[in-house]
Amino acid sequence: MTAALERAYRDERAAVLATITRRLGGDLALAEDAVQDAFVAAAVEWDRRGVPDRPGAWLTTTAWRRALDRRRHERVAREHLHRLAEPMSYDLEPELERSSLEDDRLRMLFCCCHPALAPEARMALTLRSVAGLTVPEIARAFLSSEAAMERRLVRARRKISDARIPFAVPPDEQLPERLAGVLRVVYLVYTEGHAAARGDAPIRGELCEEAIRLARLLVALMPDEAEANGLLALLLLTDARRSARQGAGGALVALEDQDRARWDGALVDEGAAVLERALRLPARGPYAIQAAIAALHSRAESWEATDWPQIAGLYAVLAGLDPSPVVTVNRAVAVGFASSPRAGLALLDEVALTGYQPLWAARAELLRRAGDDEGADAAYSQAIALSGNEAERAALERRRKVKAAE
């Protein structure tokens, strides 16, 4: 029985929550409580009477009844009403058709990723209500206390209901922008796991895996959106290198120094296949282009044998769509190989963000290759001083020494 309950919690909870939230007109806070009630009831009932044939349907019906009970109770307590304003029925034709369940999960994603919520709240809420992680799991992933995470979630749910953030897929005119916001949340969940900005553990695998699960869900729900496919491809291709990226003692290993035999070939193949689909669809954007760059790296037998001219070209396209320091720095590195280190350095001069660590790391590399050892050492020192991660700092120290000894 416990196994059945655990399985239901993992497999059914998100869909049940999404259905109940929609039935309640978007009241995610009440829906969370009702779904929790339903699982508590299941722990008792399934033990006594056996596991129902369709656990999802049982949970949905039970959660719906609990939600109505709670709502009635609240109203009576608040108003001493003689009669309820609107009669509500206990009857729920459990809407367990596949299409309607999928629609509800998509609504849940757009609701949890609404731009009116704080960015950290969007990530936490998505992991809780869409991915089904527990509060302790989310707290651990974000290096936060359980109490603080719970408060953040409660506040976000309250805003959804108080400000009436719609539980809906946005209308066509808002869809591109809002979908970009949803993709951004999934991307940030991945990067939060992949390169922690603080702390000593550079990679927190569970967040990477959840982000990929979410990206897969998005592609399943919106198969014709180029950027949903682009994001999934990017995450798969990046994740293929995860184990090669972490060296002995947790130090980060730069792409250049990674043991390519340790890249996960199955993930590379899957990522390349998803990328092909993304590139065939209209309106491909930054994620598809970044995935194309990642695919070129995956295909190269070595750092030296990488197709730098094509990568530099893709970064130029990306810079046109997203002229951020991150893109410029990566573009400069690629140009440094495709044409010359000096050409790469010239691009770096455009970056105004002087406190940005990767800028100094890239400048150091390019100066070294241009033969300016003194400038390179100074740039490494800057990069090391700006790094907030122990493993990253150690990697930079090592690079500075190794290259200087050559």
Partner 1 sequence: MQYLIQLTYRPGEGPQEGTPEFDAEMAVWGALNQELREAGVVLGGSGLNVDSATTVRTRGGELTVTDGPYAETKETLFSFYMLDVEDLDAAIAWAAKMPAAEYGSVDIRPMVGLELR
What does the binding site for partner 1 look like in residue numbers (CB under 8 A)?
26, 114, 116, 162-166, 168, 170-171, 174
SS (H, E, C) the chain: CHHHHHHHHHHHHHHHHHHHHHHCCCCHHHHHHHHHHHHHHHHHHHHHHCCCCCHHHHHHHHHHHHHHHHHHHHHHHHHCCCCCCCCCCCCCCCCCCHHHHHHHHHHHHHHHCCCCCCHHHHHHHHHHHCCCCCHHHHHHHCCCCHHHHHHHHHHHHHHHHHCCCCCCCCCCCCHHHHHHHHHHHHHHHHHHHHCCCCCCCCCCHHHHHHHHHHHHHHHHHCCCCHHHHHHHHHHHHHHCCHHHHECHHHCECCHHHCCHHHCCHHHHHHHHHHHHHHHHCCCCCHHHHHHHHHHHHHHCCCCCCCCHHHHHHHHHHHHHHCCCHHHHHHHHHHHHHHCCHHHHHHHHCCCCCCCCHHHHHHHHHHHHHCCCHHHHHHHHHHHHHHCCCHHHHHHHHHHHHHHHHC
CB 163 to partner 1: min, Å: 5
Q: Toward partner 1, which CB reaches closer, 112 or 318? A: 112
359 to each of 2, 24, 332, 379, 387, how far by Cα in Å?
Answer: 52, 49, 10, 9, 11
CB 180 to partner 1: min, Å: 15
CB 18 to partner 1: min, Å: 18
Q: Toward partner 1, which CB reaches closer, 115 or 265? A: 115
Q: Toward partner 1, which CB reaches closer, 171 or 355? A: 171
Q: Toward partner 1, which CB reaches closer, 170 or 205? A: 170
CB 27 to partner 1: min, Å: 12
Q: Toward partner 1, which CB reaches closer, 53 or 162? A: 162
CB 127 to partner 1: min, Å: 22
CB 157 to partner 1: min, Å: 14
Q: Toward partner 1, which CB reaches closer, 160 or 219? A: 160
CB 158 to partner 1: min, Å: 11
Q: Toward partner 1, which CB reaches closer, 116 or 404? A: 116
CB 164 to partner 1: min, Å: 4
Q: Toward partner 1, which CB reaches closer, 151 or 164? A: 164
CB neighbours of 258 closer than 8 A, spacing ≥ 6?
Answer: 241, 244, 245
383 to each of 77, 93, 333, 351, 388, how far by Cα in Å?
Answer: 61, 61, 15, 15, 10
CB 21 to partner 1: min, Å: 14
Q: Toward partner 1, which CB reaches closer, 26 or 344? A: 26
Give dist(CA 333, CA 364) in Å, integer.
11
CB 174 to partner 1: min, Å: 7
Vertex 392 angle, CA 386 and 394, to 5°: 100
Q: Toward partner 1, which CB reaches closer, 93 or 173? A: 173
CA-CA-CA-CA dihedral for 19, 24, 29, 31, to nearest 10: -40
Q: Toward partner 1, which CB reaches closer, 156 or 333? A: 156
CB 78 to partner 1: min, Å: 13
Residues paired with residue 246 on neighbouring β-strands, in sequence order? 252
